[in-house]
């Protein structure tokens, strides 16, 4: 029998109005609090907890004319699919939760969401962007996280601009490396489709997959070195990014554009690799704290997060978790009752303001109820942090190409 390593029933916030008889709305979730994804699982936990604390401190949700607190039962899925599935089943059938929030990582969500679909429980996911998850015709999964395929397209759009400005060669040779998961295959498709439509502006000289949680990428990077490519575009989870880029630097590799997909600007990775080794790395993210430069939901979230977590600035992980929980709360209030089908219908029809790029959130049926918000691109720059360099309307800095380190 599987046993959760961490059981955290969170009766967060105020007890509610004295004499109120309404039980709390019960929400369940698992996260990888141990195992390979533990660091990011901890970030998602912070986003969830902040959202629950906020609503309870405000007196709870307004549901059908009464105030109702919300509680979160959070279990550790240990970064493994079987545990994520088993614990989701436990949350629904033993803990009797009303709704589910998603875990983190596409391969965990792909497996776990089958439980939500089986029992017809609305499942809000901010941590698994693979389109494969949303192409199964499921009615109860909703993704606040845009597809990784769109990340590949966004990266290539920025590269197009640099090429047209004469800063990158035409044609440019690409090394395309991708983790052998649905996440990686989506990234590959986004880049490859763009190349196919580029009328000869690019060629893919290296197109290779690699296993998740790799320890040695030497042979793969050797192929990249031998191919003499211009652009190095990889898709990797955080641990693999750190391992691969450490070996990339050790081998003396340097390319005109370097990207690891959504990885590159994380503070932990910069500390692990050294700032001098990650300068000019380009990353596409689902949200950035720099969006708080303008008044609105992002600024409100950043201020609340800093107040709750000792002045620390959030990353996209906490933001997507927070937005997922807030979206569920909105749907419950709109439904006016704690009813799974009524809440599912409100989610399916939802179009609301959000902290995500683009400013709104909806779940289009044509994309399997996965949000299609734009990505923001950041680039690690010396003495400038990692400013947003694209799209222009939210940019806080100017991107650099080609990589000046390659001329040294």
DSSP 361-389: EE--GGGTSB--PPPEEEE-BTTTB--EE
Contact 92, 19 (CB under 8 A): no
Residues 157 and 141 grouped into a single domain:
no
Contacting residues for 233 by C-beta, under 8 A, at least 6 apart: 152, 155, 174, 175, 176, 177, 191, 257, 259, 261
18 domain residue, yes or no: yes
Can you give the CATH number for the domain in which 184 is found?
3.40.50.2300
Q: Whole-angstrom Cα distance, residue 162 to residue 198?
A: 14
Residue 355's nearest CA partner among 283, 284, 303, 282 is 303
Are 240 and 261 in contact, with CB atoms under 8 Å apart? no
Flag whether 2 is in a domain: no
Residues 36 and 129 in one domain: yes
Mark whether 52 and 113 lie in a shared domain: yes
Asked if 395 and 319 sit in the same domain, the reply is no
pLDDT-derived band at 266 (thresholds 50, 70, 90) equals confident
Q: Are residues 266 and 388 in the same domain?
A: yes
The answer to whether 24 and 279 have CB atoms below 8 angstroms apart is no
Whether residues 262 and 194 fall in one domain: yes
| Per-residue pLDDT at 9 | 47
User: What CA–CA distances, in Å, run from 385 to 265, 266, 276, 316?
Assistant: 8, 10, 12, 16
Residue 321 inside a domain? The answer is yes
- Same-domain check for residues 19 and 81: yes
Rounded to whole angstroms, the Cα distance separating 317 from 129 reads 12
Preceding peptide of 402 cis, ω within 30°: yes
116-161 tens-digit pLDDT: 999 999 999 999 998 999 999 999 999 999 999 999 999 999 999 9
With cut-offs at 50, 70 and 90, classify the pLDDT of residue 220: very high
Within a domain: 243: yes
Task: Inform me whether the pLDDT recorded for 246 exceeds 60.
Answer: yes
> Per the domain annotation, does 394 fall within a domain?
yes
Confidence of residue 182 (pLDDT cuts 50, 70, 90): confident
Q: Pick the residue with more confidence: 397 or 267?
A: 397
Question: Nearest Cα to 280, choosing from 362, 192, 385?
Answer: 385
Q: Is residue 155 domain-shared with residue 270, that is, in the same domain?
A: yes
**Domain count of the chain?**
2
Query: What pLDDT, on the 0 to 100 scale, is given for residue 408?
Result: 62
Q: Specify whether 315 is located in the same domain as 344.
A: yes
Residue pair 357/365 in contact by the 8 Å Cβ criterion? no
Residues 400, 324: one domain?
no
Structural domain includes residue 219: yes
* 261 in Cβ contact with 206 (< 8 Å): no
Whole-angstrom Cα distance, residue 178 to residue 114? 26
Both 11 and 61 in one domain: the answer is: yes
Element (H, E) at 71: strand 70-76
Domain with 75, as residue range(s), is 7-146+293-367
Q: Are 141 and 56 in the same domain?
A: yes
Percent of the chain with pLDDT over 90: 87
pTM to 2 decimal places: 0.84
Which pLDDT band, with edges at 50, 70 and 90, does 90 fall under?
very high
Q: Classify residue 337: in a domain, yes or no.
A: yes
**372 within some domain:** no
Question: Does pLDDT of 13 surpass 90?
Answer: no
Nearest to 398 by CA among 172, 158, 155: 158
- The percent of residues in the chain predicted with pLDDT above 70, rounded, is 95
**pLDDT tens digits, one per residue of 364-374:** 999 999 999 99
């Amino acid at each position: 029998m599987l046993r959760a390593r961490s059981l955290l029933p969170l009766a967060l916030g105020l007890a509610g109005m004295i004499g109120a008889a309404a039980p709390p709305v019960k929400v369940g979730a698992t996260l990888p609090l141990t195992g390979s994804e533990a660091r990011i699982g901890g970030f998602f936990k912070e986003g969830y907890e902040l959202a629950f604390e906020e609503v309870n401190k405000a007196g709870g949700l307004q549901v059908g004319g009464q105030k109702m607190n919300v509680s979160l039962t959070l279990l550790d899925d240990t970064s493994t699919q079987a545990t994520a599935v088993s614990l989701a089943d436990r949350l629904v059938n033993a803990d009797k939760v009303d709704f589910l929030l998603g875990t983190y990582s596409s391969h965990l969500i792909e497996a776990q969401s089958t439980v939500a679909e089986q029992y017809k429980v609305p499942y809000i996911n901010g941590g698994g962007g693979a389109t494969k998850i949303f192409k199964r015709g499921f009615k109860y999964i909703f993704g606040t996280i845009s597809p990784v395929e769109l990340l590949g397209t966004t990266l290539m759009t920025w590269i197009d601009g640099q090429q047209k400005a004469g800063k990158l060669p035409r044609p440019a040779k690409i090394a395309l490396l991708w983790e052998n998961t649905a996440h990686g295959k989506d990234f590959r498709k986004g880049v490859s489709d763009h190349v196919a439509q580029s009328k000869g502006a690019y060629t893919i000289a290296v197109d290779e997959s690699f296993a998740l949680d790799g320890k040695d990428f030497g042979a793969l990077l050797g192929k990249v070195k031998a191919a003499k490519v211009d652009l190095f575009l990889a898709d990797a989870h955080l641990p693999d990014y750190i391992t691969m880029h450490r070996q990339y630097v050790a081998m003396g590799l340097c390319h005109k554009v370097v990207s690891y997909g959504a990885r590159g600007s994380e503070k932990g990775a910069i500390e692990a690799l050294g700032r001098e080794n990650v300068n000019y790395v380009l990353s596409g993210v689902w949200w950035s704290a720099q969006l708080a430069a303008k008044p609105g939901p992002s600024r409100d979230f950043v201020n609340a997060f800093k107040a709750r977590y000792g002045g620390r600035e959030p990353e996209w992980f906490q933001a997507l978790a927070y937005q997922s929980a807030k979206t569920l709360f909105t749907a419950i209030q709109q439904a006016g009752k704690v009813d799974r089908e009524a809440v599912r219908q409100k989610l399916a029809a939802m179009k609301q303001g959000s902290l995500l790029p683009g400013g709104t959130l909806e779940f289009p049926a044509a994309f399997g109820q996965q949000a299609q918000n734009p990505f923001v691109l950041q680039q690690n720059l010396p003495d400038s942090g990692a400013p947003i360099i694209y799209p222009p309307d939210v940019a806080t800095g100017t991107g650099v190409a080609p990589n000046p380190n390659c001329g040294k």
